[in-house]
Structure 1
Amino acid sequence: MTQKILNAWYKGAWWLSLLLPFASLYIWLRRVYLKSQPKARKNPLPLLVIGNITIGGTGKTPLVVALTLALKDKGLRCAIISRGYGGTVGVGPHCVTSRDKAQVVGDEPLLLSRLTKVPVIVGSCRKTSIEWLAQQGKFDLVISDDGLQHSAIKGDVQWCLVDATRGLGNDKCIPAGPLREPATRLAEVDQVFTTGVPGPVIIKQLQHYLKDNTLCYLEPKLDQLRQVWDDSQVEWPKDKALIYAVAAIGHPQRFFDDLGARGYQVDGQEYADHYQFKEHDLPIKPLIMTAKDAIKCKALAQSTKNQKAMPWLYATQALTIAPAQIDALLLKLGL
């Protein structure tokens, strides 16, 4: 998906009205498809689905990581399931290991595995992944990274994320807008979070669909700075420094804005989400990338016989989930 189309969706370009008949057709076809699918059966393990209803990044990965670590601290045995977008695993299930490559299992599952140290199961059939985990007999709950639109499963608890700066865009479904399904879906999930604190216009837009649901804010912040080639931690540059940054995520500008919030002048280069970097893409000079991108660039950054290690860095993100949210989740899951 090109950044130009995303910008049009979220800024409400006039010509998108020409695509409204196709959006109506998409909604109709989706309804027909869902009616033809068998009803999702009871999950063999308590299941939390964390997803979104918009195209473009909303910050699911930092939330999955923070929640998993918080649940581990409470002594709960967690596992994560993921489609493995961009990988070649297929139906699965495949348990991610340190020997896997992002090109095979996907960049996000590999990052989740490294950051959480819990089993991450990849496969296009999430139902199969959950059943496999249940057969192991050693997990208390499963977290699905994305999957709100996956009809074969239904989370016992469903969390939906919305980007605070972009909201729901023009409120239209694809291809006329960024919505994967109608915005009324927000009233059906258990909790709606925004990544960042939205302004009054976005709050009004979201509350129109929330009904009795409350809106909660998450504020991910850049945390540590590490070298791509060996993951060792380094100091952040001095304030007001000019830095070169790259991002191949759903919403690259958010990463650049976060760097700017730390006081830097940012020269940012955007790439398509999940882009597989090649050797000639990145310059031989200091730059900062996301942790998701560093997963794919580590081999490129490491030293060879003819070249020293690349001076590339990556920034990790951290966020805090309110204890009340975790308690409500565990109560709903019966844990």
Structure 2
Amino acid sequence: MGLETDWYSGAGWLRLLAPLEWAYRRLSERRRQRLTQPENQWLAPVPVIIVGNISVGGSGKTPLTLNLIDKLRARGYRPGVVSRGYGTKAPHYPFFVNADTAPEQGGDEPCLIVRRSGVPLVIDPDRPAAVRALLDTADVDIVISDDGLQHYRLGRDLELAVVDAARGLGNARCLPAGPLREPPERLNEVDRVILNGQGRFAFPGASSMELQPGALVELATGKSLDAEQWQGARQVHAVAGIGHPKRFFDTLESLGFKPLPHPLPDHAAITAETLSFDDELPVILTEKDAVKCGDWVKPGVWALKVDARLDEEFDDWLDRQLVRLQQKYGSP
């Protein structure tokens, strides 16, 4: 995690990587120009909403995707989701993820999305192939592409870019000199920027999103309770294999816990050894990490659910966009 720390702390030595950054930016722009040509880009027969970001690592895309699923269903749509399936070893692609799919095959985030929402979901590094499989098999009339902003072979109707307001864009430089997949100006081209949480980063016209903590669920028993109902020790082992673990630790503190932080790389494997400590204190995981726990998990290991809450202006904006899309594709 050393390089990532330097990206966000403004380490001066990263200027030495400027030639590599220049080459990356040139190649990235050429790739985008090539893939967005009409002959190279596939357009789905239903609306496609992209949820992504311009930086590497987590920013809150999965909670936003779950929130969008609920919003679209409330408006009469039948959404489906496609995802790359980062780090997966699926038996084939396209691959349908269901509630029983192992995270090793389906990916931690796709498995979480399906278990929380029951939405039809297909993983495939080839996003157009994933959408075609989804539309051929499931009753879907709108598609959300999770983490698909740079997958330009898939045409899109709306682009939503999520930015962690606390970390912002780091040093605002592209790989490998900084955390950005695309230059900061790319945010000016998306349909909506969404700022996750509170922080110094600001963007004109952006919507705000907060991750609201929900129930604590004991993995071995399925027991569920609110933080106010917690009767155990307030000092807990906090395990987080997400893009910004500190946000999870801060959330636990806001709920009255005294977390002993155990940050892990994003998408890290969770094993019995990961959760073994030399005491009897409770363990609290992120919900994304919890999907990687199997039958081996012992009592005393809990997951904290979180839900995205967006400002009212986002709902108004989304309604206006859906009216526009209905003129193109018809009503749901």
TM over 0.5: yes
Pairing 1:227–2:225 present = no
Map residues 32-181 of structure 1 onto 2, 5 A cutoff. Answer: 32-37=30-35, 38-39=37-38, 40-89=41-90, 92-136=93-137, 138-181=139-182
Residue-by-residue CA offset, 1:183-236 (whole Å, 9 max, x unaligned): 11101100000101333xx22xx44xxxxxx11110111111001224331342
User: Percent identity over the alignment?
Assistant: 34
Separation in structure 2 between the aligned mates of residue 89 and residue 326 of structure 1, nearest angstrom: 34
CA contact (8 A) 2:162 2:195 kept: yes
Does the CA contact (< 8 Å) of 2:213 and 2:307 recur in 1?
Answer: yes
Q: Residue 84 of structure 1 contacts residue 123 of structure 1 at CA under 8 Å; is this kept in 2?
A: yes
Aligned length: 316
The alignment partner of 2:17 has SS state of: helix
Measured at CA, do residues 35 and 71 of structure 1 come closer, stay the same or move farther in structure 2, by a change above 3 Å?
closer
Mind listing any 5+ residue stretches in structure 2 that lack a counterpart? none
| TM-score for both structures, normalised by structure 2 | 0.89
Name 1:305's counterpart in structure 2: none
Question: Offset at 1:239?
Answer: 11
Tell me whether 4-13 or 223-232 shows the greater mean CA deviation.
Answer: 223-232
**SS in structure 1 at match of 2:65:** helix
Question: Aligned partners of 1:294 and 1:312: how far apart in 2?
Answer: 9
Q: Residue 19 of structure 2 aligns with which residue?
A: 21
Name the Cα RMSD after superposition.
1.9
2:248 is the counterpart of 1:259: no
SS at match of 2:50: strand
Counterpart among 304, 325, 331 of residue 317 in structure 2:
325
Preserved contact between residue 88 and residue 103 of structure 1 (Cα < 8 Å):
yes
Shift of 1:53: 0.3
Quick check: 1:311 aligned with 2:300? Answer: yes
Q: Look up the equivalent residue of 1:259 and give its one-letter code.
A: L
Once structures 1 and 2 are overlaid, which stretch shifts more, 250-259 or 283-292? 283-292
Mind listing any 5+ residue stretches in structure 1 that lack a counterpart?
A: 208-213, 302-308
Quote how far apart the aligned CAs of 1:264 are: 2.2
CA distance in structure 1 between the aligned counterparts of 2:140 and 2:226, rounded to whole angstroms:
38
Q: CA 1:227 to 1:238, structure 2 compared with 1: closer, same or farther past 3 Å?
A: closer
Check conservation: 1:107, 1:292, Cα contact below 8 A: yes
CA contact 1:228–1:298 (8 Å) conserved in 2: no
d(CA) in 1 for partners of 2:197, 2:133: 36
Aligned equivalents of 2:71, 2:31: Cα separation in 1:
37
Tell me: CA distance 1:161–1:6, structure 2 relative to 1, closer, same or farther (3 Å).
same
CA contact (8 A) 2:64 2:308 kept: yes
Match in the other structure for 1:287: 283
SS at match of 1:320: strand
Judging changes above 3 Å, is the alpha-carbon distance between structure 1 residues 332 and 170 closer, same or farther for their aligned structure 2 residues? Answer: farther
| 1-structure distance, mates of 2:318, 2:185 | 25
| Aligned mates of 1:282, 1:137 — CA distance in 2 | 38
SS at match of 2:293: helix
Counterpart of 1:191 in structure 2 is: 192
Distance 1:241 1:311 in 2: 13
**Distance change in 2, residues 1:238/1:10 (3 Å):** farther
